[in-house]
Amino acid sequence: MLKALNLNNINKSYGLIKAIDNINLTIRDGEFFSLLGPSGSGKTTCLKVIAGFEAPDSGIVSLFDEDVTNIPPFKRHVNTVFQDYALFPHMNVRQNVGYSLKVQKMKGPSMDRKIDEILEIVNLKGYDLRKPSELSGGQRQRVALARSLINKPKILLLDEPLGALDQKLREKMQVELKNIQRQFKITFIYVTHDQQEALSMSDRIAVFNEGKIEQIDTPANIYSKPINSFVADFIGTTSIFDKDSAMKLFNLDKAFSVRPENVVILETAEDLATINKQQFYITNGTVADCQFQGSQLKITYLINNNCKLSVFKSLEGNINQKYEINTNHTLAWRRSDITVLNG
Amino acid sequence: MDKLLDSFSNFIYRKKNFIFLSFLIPPVLWLGIVYLGSLLVFLGHSFFYLDGFTGQIVYEFSLRTLKELFSSPANIDILIRTVGLAACVTIGSAIIGFPIAYYMAKFTSPKVKIFLFIAIMLPLWSNYLVRVYSWKLILAKEGIISWFFEKLNLEWLLDAILATPIIGGPSLSISYIGMFLVFTYIWLPFMILPIQASLERVPNSLINASHDLGANKRQTFYKVILPLALPGIIAGSIFTFSLTLGDYIIPYIIGTSKFFIGQAVYTHQGVAGNIPLAAAFSLVPIVVMVIYIYFAKRMGAFNDL
């Protein structure tokens, strides 16, 4: 296994605030790796340490087994797509994209060919002479991408690159980014606070919280086997039962979480009879809220007057289905579907 | 009555331009008629001429005064001297001011920044004449600079500098070097502040992006920071250049007996009563500034404003 990046006991503080706290991380060559976490969790600082814009207070950063901790960013073979794109406003698209070639003193036809090639890949042919201020958000994003890809870096760092785009464009760019990563066969390190984005694009995800990494795993495992209540709560929709409630309701001595799609609503006695009581947890809930979400309803139940439980109910064939507030239902989910939480 | 006020307030809310115009018209009238009007009348005098015998202004359109301005070697000397010094002061202020502005914009905490702002503005709060006269004392033959050189046994160095043709003189307080120092000191805040403002608007991510794409610090400076700070440098240079072109107090106090444009204007319109020639002299800085701004614009200094 070729290690594209290795972070070893990295610490970084700003004054009294510990931005990253003893981080260890290994990323494989060619991986699409996401750093996921809420704002202020240290993921962007982590990216800056990898790019070299910030020096860690302690720890070692290695790229392809070479210690680069004290090497300035312009000597590291990584490139960054910035959150605000950081396009040079005084240069046109061509000059922006060709900037890294220009500083290497490349000239003439070989430089032109490289620029044309990359502009073709990101679908920006014909925009060569526009200034960044004359482009839309999506186009600027492509320029930033082209500019950092033109040198074919071994690692591309992306700092919330789709954050400023609208939902439709985001989804389109997610597919394009993934295609580009496959095409160039380079390692992507992708910072995002959008769990859906991280789940759908990544090979592996590191979940950040308060400067620490809570869990590193594949999207499927992060979703289905969250290691603690923070991860469970942050990824997808989930309902958490604390230790006391778990004990009281289900005679279970550990906190646990359950995904809304795993809960079934048992509206009639016949429904209840079909359930194997050995395999399911069963409880009663009062409807507290019912949201229409297009293909499904999201119903929030109040259980035992203090626990909230979210349930997704598919609307197949009955689009006008509704649950009145304050009605009582019996709810059940498989014992094997819960995630026991340690923290 | 209430109803009337009510409908009046509705009226001014709806007609936003009414308030805007009612505040704008008085200063526009003042600027347009009193200021620009009298300036144009004065400059228009450069197309009249002074009758040599009677000493009276002849109110007839003529290029005689302008011809007089550009045909006399003494006048040409005054123009070259003034424009040359203004250019040197501008370049000097830019070179001294840029690092200060850069430090303020990129490396300071908010508290230090406020302190530096006050430190830069503070000299502007004291009287201009007081500051120029104190420089006269600093630069004088018996002043602190000479004393300092003497203590270091470096009088020969000061003498060598003063012996330089053209820029030297009998003492710093009567030389172009002295004038340059005083002008640069006096106008420096006007250079620092616009550069600081323009650098403040350059996001750090652009500098990071440049490093990220392989540019070292020198390349980043010339390709990213300097071009983006250019509007600020140009704005600052418009201040320092035009203020130096028009000043007549510093050349009078610090300078040699050689005239600058400001002194020429002062003398011709005062003692000599030659208002047409004074007007022609004052036309020069305006024309120079228009040409300067034109070329700055052509070079793209204002493209990213």
**Mean pLDDT for the stretch of residues B96-120:** 94
Are A52 and B213 in contact (CB < 8 Å)? no
List of domains in chain A: 3-234 (3.40.50.300), 239-340 (2.40.50.140)
As a whole number of angstroms, the distance between CA B121 and CA B113 comes to: 12
Of A138-152, A278-292, B266-280, minimum mean pLDDT range: B266-280
DSSP codes, B197-240 = HHHHTS-HHHHHHHHHTT--HHHHIIIIIHHHHHHHHHHHHHHH
Are A148 and B212 in contact (CB < 8 Å)? yes
Q: What are phi and psi of A97, to 5 degrees?
A: -65, -35
Nearest chain B residue to A53 by CA: give it: B208
Residues of B in contact with A53 (CB under 8 A): 208, 211-212
Inform me whether the pLDDT recorded for B270 exceeds 90: no
Give Cβ neighbours of residue A304 (< 8 Å, ≥ 6 apart): A245, A248, A249, A283
Å between A295 CA and nearest CA of chain B: 41
Cβ of B160 under 8 Å from any chain A Cβ? no
Are A147 and B206 in contact (CB < 8 Å)? no
Q: What's the pLDDT at B202? A: 92
Residues of A in contact with B304 (CB under 8 A): 89-90
Q: What's the pLDDT at B233? A: 93
SS3 for chain A is CCEEEEEEEEEEEECCEEEEEEEEEEEECCCEEEEECCCCCCHHHHHHHHHCCCCCCEEEEEECCEECCCCCHHHCCEEEECCCCCCCCCCCHHHHHCHHHHHCCCCHHHHHHHHHHHHHHCCCCCCCCCCHHHCCHHHHHHHHHHHHHCCCCCEEEEECCCCCCCHHHHHHHHHHHHHHHHHHCCEEEEEECCHHHHHHHCCEEEEEECCEEEEEECHHHHHHCCCCHHHHHHCCCCEEECHHHHHHHHCCCCCEEECHHHCEEECCHHHHHCCCCCCEEEEEEEEEEEEECCCEEEEEEEECCCEEEEEEEECCCCCCCCCCCCCEEEEEEEHHHCEECCC
**Mean pLDDT for the stretch of residues A330-341:** 88
pLDDT band at residue B305 under the 50/70/90 scheme: low
**Mean pLDDT for the stretch of residues A110-116:** 92
% residues pLDDT > 70 (chain B): 99
Chain A, chain B: beta-carbon pairs less than 8 Å apart: 66
Q: What's the pLDDT at A71? A: 93
The string of pLDDT tens digits covering residues A164-200 is 888 888 888 899 999 999 988 899 999 999 998 999 9
Cβ of A257 under 8 Å from any chain B Cβ? no
Residues of B in contact with A84 (CB under 8 A): 203, 205
Q: What's the pLDDT at B169? A: 81
Are A74 and B211 in contact (CB < 8 Å)? yes
Sequence ranges of the domains in chain B: 72-298
Beta strands at A155-159 and A187-192: parallel, antiparallel or unpaired? parallel
Inform me whether the pLDDT recorded for B301 exceeds 80: no
The string of pLDDT tens digits covering residues A205-216 is 999 999 999 999
As a whole number of angstroms, the distance between CA A88 and CA B224 comes to: 7
Are A80 and B208 in contact (CB < 8 Å)? yes
- Looking at CATH, the fold of the domain delimited by B72-298 is given as MetI-like fold (1.10.3720)
Are A84 and B205 in contact (CB < 8 Å)? yes
Cβ of B208 under 8 Å from any chain A Cβ? yes
Å between A198 CA and nearest CA of chain B: 24
Which of A86, A100, A103 minimises the CB distance to B208? A86
Residues of A in contact with B299 (CB under 8 A): none
| Residues 174-203 in B contacting A (C-alpha not used; CB under 8 Å) | 203
Inform me whether the pLDDT recorded for A123 exceeds 80: yes
The string of pLDDT tens digits covering residues A259-286 is 998 998 888 778 788 888 888 888 989 9
Residues of B in contact with A89 (CB under 8 A): 228, 304
Which of A72, A82, A90 minimises the CB distance to B209? A82
Cβ of A105 under 8 Å from any chain B Cβ? no
- Measured from the Cβ of residue A27, the count of other Cβ atoms closer than 10 Å reads 24
Å between A235 CA and nearest CA of chain B: 30
Å between A96 CA and nearest CA of chain B: 10
Are B216 and A99 in contact (CB < 8 Å)? no
Does the pTM surpass 0.90? The reply is: no
With b meaning 16 or more CB within 10 Å and e meaning fewer, what string describes A226-260?
bbbbbbbebbbebbbbeeebbeebeebeebbbbbb
Cβ of A98 under 8 Å from any chain B Cβ? no
Å between B219 CA and nearest CA of chain A: 7
Å between B201 CA and nearest CA of chain A: 11
Q: What's the pLDDT at A209? A: 94
Are A147 and B213 in contact (CB < 8 Å)? yes
Give Cβ neighbours of residue B108 (< 8 Å, ≥ 6 apart): B116
Cβ of B223 under 8 Å from any chain A Cβ? yes
Average pLDDT, chain B: 90
Q: What's the pLDDT at A273? A: 81
Q: Which of B247, B230, B239, B246 is nearest to B297 (CA)?
A: B230
Inform me whether the pLDDT recorded for A343 exceeds 70: no
Q: What ipTM was predicted for this assembly? A: 0.83
B111, B213, B299, best to mutate vs chain A, most A CBs in 10 Å = B213
Cβ of A163 under 8 Å from any chain B Cβ? no
Q: What are phi and psi of B127, to 5 degrees?
A: -65, 140
Q: What's the pLDDT at B52? A: 78
Inform me whether the pLDDT recorded for A32 exceeds 70: yes
Cβ of B226 under 8 Å from any chain A Cβ? no
| Stronger pLDDT, B12 or B111, i.e. the higher one | B111
The string of pLDDT tens digits covering residues B66-88 is 888 899 899 999 999 999 999 99
% residues pLDDT > 90 (chain B): 51
Q: What's the pLDDT at B257? A: 80
Residues of A in contact with B208 (CB under 8 A): 51, 53, 73, 80, 82, 86
Residues of A in contact with B229 (CB under 8 A): none
Cβ of A148 under 8 Å from any chain B Cβ? yes
